[in-house]
A and B are shown apart, each in its own frame.
Chain A
């Protein structure tokens, strides 16, 4: 009992505890939700406003400056300053109007206190200024304070941002708590209330449900709050922009910069920058439109735009903005934010493309599946597989059925081939080999011999199956196509039979569409007509050449086709015309062919040659009836004129000829009225003459019909009959409508006239042409020829028109090549030759260039040829002469070259012997003079000693001369060996050598930077050595020798100069400087042979350069040499 009670109590108390806990939790949850909802989020606004303040201060100072220059009214500056001040106070102390709370953060409050002095230093002078002068005085202090204000304001903004972040964190904590309690409530529902008390607490259930509803509601609120939370996060993650509309300047928050990858200051914040540099060009229109809509119609400004990051890539951003307007409703500024939504965008794009792909794939798959099942249903298709690894085969049921093998019987691999009829086994074997080797599939139509011995047509499709690149199995389809194949075969057979009968019959037959279009005609008919089916197909049967004999026959046929198309069987005899104008008479019939509904679908025309029969009949039937027929055909009518009664009787055909109704009973006057006014007189005259002179009347006149619209030509023929007294009584005759003939004749006549005219013009044109041109017919007779033609070929015959080309120029008869060419041109080729030999009858040679063109007559056949020729004999002669001359010249050049070579060789031999033979005796002179001096010094008196000295000196000098002259001549023969030469280096080496050789002299060299040249190193070194040695030599009398080397560029050449401060020379003799053995100083003053500069010039000239010098006596000299630029 007590136990029960205990249980009951405990249940009740548990319920109570549970319920109260739940209520508590719910309440607490509600409280939290309220807290979050109440959370005032002013931080973004504050940061925003602070940013603006910063901008405003800049603006005000700018305005003050402008006001100072008188370009900005001071009142406006005052107005701005007032706003500036109010906002600032609002930020610091809170403002109802601006919906700003009082600042709670102590630290920021302090910062604001600090900035106040700067603010009032900016604002006070503006607000208190009563005149421009006052304001101007305080501009420097305003500027100073503005600078400080900016710095401090930046500090405040960043402090605000930190504070804002702190608030967000608090909010997050609240959200987490909220979520935690919500979970507890949910747990409470299940664990504490529902499960243990379910049976007993129906009533409470309702309440609980209410609670749950409430809870759900709370969750809804929670969701809203979360959204708000998200928004706050966004607000902070967002970059802020503030656009001052009048001047387009903008302020961008740090976050704005970092979102775009920039640092503050790296880009100029302005609306212009945003539009032109950041915004994606494709989004520009969208932005401008939205801004306009927002500013003018106050529509919401929220866009997704692309902006360029510092790295050059575009990213997606969401931007929202809100403008403010002044009292005149003019927009002043617009403030907003941007958030990076690139990830979201990409995700969206990915999602949509994935979705689309999936949808397409699914649709395709479904389509393929339906098609497959349909096909399989209709066609008998089976599948098979051969596993090449285990060498086992598998067939689907349908394959068994096709092979007529009981389903399930074990299949061997080779069965796959052996069931084919023998002639197809190799085909399949090849296909399989190819599939394994080349990994290609096959698709063959083959004949199978089934297990029951039936032959069946199948389509075998197979393809290789790969595993890691190797073929491991073959798989494929098997289709029973026997019915189709047999149907095709049967059709082909029956068609073959039909065709052979159709074509081999002697009768003409064919097949027409009901409208007469020719579908088919048999061989006999085509052979008779002389054309092929290809030419006739699609033609109307009546337009085919068989029926061109006369209009009547043609008309008759057209009517017959019409009747036959309406189901009538037609048969009549008719004349048809065949190849070569052969006319035969056929027993012609048209048989209509009906379909199942009784509709005519084809017409079968048939004709049997009955010419012989007709010819027999014809002789009998050649009578009046035939005459009538003939007259009808020829459009001839009869007439009889009773002169006495003046009445004319016309035959039926005559009425038709005159185009009159049968009721018309003419007399002569009536007839006259029908005749064309111009013809009446002559006609009457002819009639009168016939009567008077008893002559046949034969006259063609015109008649006018349909009020002048139609004119016919009538050929009248008549005879006059006389009575017994010899008076004319009547006249009888025929009238024939000859309109067509007359018109045709006229046309021909006018055409001929035109033709004759143009031919005449052509002939004149050709005749006067300044080139040799001739027009010939296809038998090589001249039609037209130019005067030049006569002249060029010396034709003495004054008129060759109509004469044969080969008779006029008989030598061509022997030129088979030309005759062959003529034949080619007459068969349509165009030929030309720019240089051809024409051996004339007298043996002279004429060189010509020619061009032959075929010309075509009206039906498009070659009518002959046109020859254009030019006599180039003189040019060829000149050319030959030129060639001869060249040959002679070349020969002469060769001769001269040889001579020159010989002379060179002689010179070489000469200088060699000079070098050797001349030096030897010199050496003896020197040597023995020396010995004389050494050994006989004591026995020589003063004069003898002096003389020995002279001998020695002269010998040495002569040796030097020989050496120099040899060197000079050697240079002439030596080939220069070019390479890049570092001139600075060359000069350096040479000056070093020269200095060491002249240690006793005080020489200072000055080398400037020298450029490299292309030349022979050793030769150029010789040049430099010579010039430097000369410079030293001729300056040796100076105390301080100064030698300067430099270079310039002139006319594409490099000019080097060597300047000394030596004795110089008289410019009068400057042309003798570089000659061999030319000296301007006596060797008593300066040693030398006079060859050195000659050698230098030779080297420089060989290099393609020049050498010259400038000087003045006792003032030094400058030697220049130039070398081509590399």
Chain B
């Protein structure tokens, strides 16, 4: 049972390495507050909708941004995005896809489903750090929720 604490960034990423790199990149840019990392889509949905392990969580208490990997076991990123957008209470939740895939169809599909940003994780770490930092700045510090 996890308590209902306020979260700023929800990172959904199955690869530990990538998660570590992302977190490091955020940390490097001093965005360390209230980051939760989940390993797959199922966990993410439970977290967002206050189900299963996250029953205490209020659906009203949502992160400032969800960073979502696409290719994940069980429930993949696209399905998570779909669920979020289909629910009245979460439809406005900012979601940024953060993935290795550069496939055009993924990009198009994501935007169709209403993603806020689609970012391809660069291979080079410097660029990667920069990209993550920019996401953090924008969605956590600058963006105003509706």
List chain A positions with a Cβ less than 8 A from chain B.
912, 915-917, 919-924, 926-931, 952, 955-956, 958-959, 963, 966, 970
Contacts and interface: CB of A to CB of B under 8 A. Distances in A.
A928 B17 CA distance: 9
A929 B125 CA distance: 9
Interface string B4-41: 00000000000101101100100000000000000000
Contacts of A959: 122-124
Given A928-B17, A931-B24, A923 B101 contact: no
A924 B17 contact: yes
B57 interface: no
A915 to B, nearest CB: 6
A940 B76 CA distance: 40
Contact of A966 (B71, B99, B102): B102
A922 B70 CA distance: 17
Interface string B113-131: 0000000011111101000
Contacts of B18: 920, 923-924
A930 B123 contact: no
A958 B124 CA distance: 11
A561 to B, nearest CB: 111
A213 B72 CA distance: 139
Contact of B101 (A912, A927, A956): A912
B17 A916 contact: no
Contacts of A966: 102
A136 to B, nearest CB: 95
A203 to B, nearest CB: 133
B124 A926 contact: yes
Given A924-B21, A927-B21, A928-B17, A919 B123 contact: yes
A926 B104 CA distance: 25
Given A923-B121, A928-B21, A970-B104, 19 more contacts: A915-B100, A915-B101, A915-B103, A916-B70, A916-B71, A920-B17, A921-B17, A923-B17, A923-B18, A923-B122, A924-B15, A924-B18, A924-B21, A926-B124, A926-B125, A926-B128, A927-B21, A930-B125, A963-B102
A955 B128 CA distance: 14
Contacts of B99: 916
Given A919-B123, A922-B123, A927 B103 contact: no
* Interface-centre pick from A916, A922, A931, A958 (highest chain B CB count, 10 A): A916
A959 B125 CA distance: 12
Interface residues of B, number: 21
Contacts of B100: 915-917, 919-920, 923
A915 B102 contact: yes
Can you list the 9 inter-chain pairs with the closest CB atoms, starting with the nearest?
A959-B123, A930-B125, A924-B17, A919-B100, A927-B21, A927-B125, A916-B100, A916-B101, A926-B125
A956 B102 contact: no
B7 to A, nearest CB: 24
A931 to B, nearest CB: 7
* Interface-centre pick from B20, B24, B70, B124 (highest chain A CB count, 10 A): B124
Contacts of A924: 15, 17-18, 21
A916 B98 CA distance: 12
* Interface-centre pick from A915, A931, A966 (highest chain B CB count, 10 A): A915
11 contacts: A912-B103, A919-B100, A919-B121, A924-B17, A926-B125, A926-B128, A927-B125, A929-B125, A952-B125, A955-B124, A956-B124
A925 to B, nearest CB: 9
Contacts of B126: 930
Contacts of B128: 923, 926-927
B21 A923 contact: yes
A923 B101 CA distance: 12
B21 to A, nearest CB: 4
Contacts of A927: 17, 20-21, 24, 125, 128
A920 B15 contact: yes
B23 to A, nearest CB: 11
B123 A926 contact: yes
A931 B17 CA distance: 12
Nearest to A920: B100
A499 to B, nearest CB: 98
A977 to B, nearest CB: 13
A926 B123 CA distance: 7
A349 B51 CA distance: 110
B102 to A, nearest CB: 6
B15 to A, nearest CB: 6
Nearest to B101: A916
A664 B107 CA distance: 138
A916 B69 CA distance: 11
B76 to A, nearest CB: 11
Contacts of B125: 923, 926-927, 929-931, 952
Nearest to B126: A930
B55 to A, nearest CB: 33
Contacts of A916: 70-71, 99-101
A916 B70 CA distance: 10
A955 B101 contact: no
